[in-house]
Amino acid sequence: MIVVKIGGSAGVDLDAVCDDAARLVREGRRLVIVHGGSDATNTLGERLGCPPRFITSPSGHTSRRTDRETLGIFQMACRGVMNQKIVERLQARAVNAVGLSGMDGRLWEGTRKAAVRSVEGGRVVIVRDDYTGTVERVNVGLLRTLIDAGFIPVVSPPAISTDHEPINVDADRAAAQTAAALGAEELLLLSNVPGLLQRFPDESSLVPHVSRAAIDDAVEWAQGRMKKKVLGAGEALCGGVGRVVIGDARARDPISLALAGAGTVFQ
């Protein structure tokens, strides 16, 4: 089993990802696809007069400010835009894809953060109407049912809170939890960079390998969104996944190349 997380940023070649996925499925590999909708949420939010806002935590982590209106836009972007694009492309390549959110079958469960600490103008303020959280439990029953019946699941946020509300969760880390829960051999985190870069955005500074012992350090120095990917890589390895690769989805055969070790290998 391979869990493939596909980023949605500019440059990611969804057709190349889906071509490669279809070839691997024909060869008998079992895949689960995970994706987010961050960039699509930004674009749609701008069009709807609700531009993206972000929260910086006291420890320096950045996350999307997700009030109920933004949550609705996030759901449209994830479920109505990105998921449909991927399912359409896979079906056109004879892959019997099924799109799911983390709410379906309570696939991704987590606690909604009751209070989010946000640094604003040098002061820490408490935000109480945010719909965010982290996946704490993966109910793999639905995934196993579909996989055993020959379907290819394509999963995106939101997750579902213990109070049954949709919550915005990081898709990289959700993919990591999913890979661990499924006992996947590999987790591939594919986006628009060649892998973890020592000096972002200098692509010649690619780090080819990160050992388990070095992951905590890498979480510290990784920049922006890469921080969550490295965190996810560590969580997946801790959960029993054999290998994690952060790889490039901007050109042909991105899944096969990552499986061959192109990018940053965590092992």
Give the footprint of a copy of itself on this chain (CB under 8 A).
44, 47-48, 72, 75-81, 83-84, 87-88, 91-92, 96-101, 103-106, 141-142, 145-146, 149, 151, 158, 160, 164-166
CB of 86 to a copy of itself, least distance (A): 10
Q: Which lies closer to a copy of itself via its Cβ, residue 174 or residue 222?
A: 174
Query: 69 or 120: whose CB is closer to a copy of itself?
Result: 69
DSSP state of 61: -
Kindly state the smallest distance separating residue 123's Cβ from a copy of itself, in Å.
34
Q: In angstroms, rounded to a whole number, what is the distance separating the alpha carbons of residues 193 and 48?
A: 29
Minimum distance from residue 75 beta carbon to a copy of itself (Å):
5
- Yes or no: say if 177 and 124 are a contact pair by the CB < 8 Å rule: no
Q: How far is the CB of 59 from a copy of itself (least distance, A)?
A: 31
- Nearer to a copy of itself among residue 165 and residue 185 (C-beta): 165
Q: Which is nearer to a copy of itself, 91 or 111 (CB)?
A: 91
CB of 228 to a copy of itself, least distance (A): 23
- Measured from the CB atom, the residue of 14 and 219 that comes closer to a copy of itself is 14
Rg (CA), the chain: 17
C-alpha distance from residue 139 to each of 16, 37, 153 (Å):
30, 22, 14
With contact defined as beta carbons under 8 Å apart, do 110 and 166 qualify? no
Q: Which residues pair with 161 in a beta bridge?
A: 110
User: Tokens in use for 110?
Assistant: 């987590």
Residues listed for the chain: 267
In angstroms, what is the minimal distance from the CB of 239 to a copy of itself?
Answer: 24
The least distance separating a copy of itself from the CB of residue 98, rounded to whole angstroms, comes to 4
Q: Is the peptide bond preceding residue 153 cis, with omega within 30 degrees of 0?
A: no
Place of tokens 């691997």: 24
CB closer to a copy of itself out of 86 and 249: 86
CB 39 within 8 A of CB 45: no
Beta strands in the chain (DSSP E): 2-6, 31-35, 54-56, 62-64, 97-101, 108-112, 116-120, 123-127, 133-138, 152-156, 159-161, 166-167, 186-191, 209-210, 243-248, 264-266
- Pairwise CA distance, residues 238 & 247, whole Å: 20
Closest CB to a copy of itself among 73 and 207?
A: 73
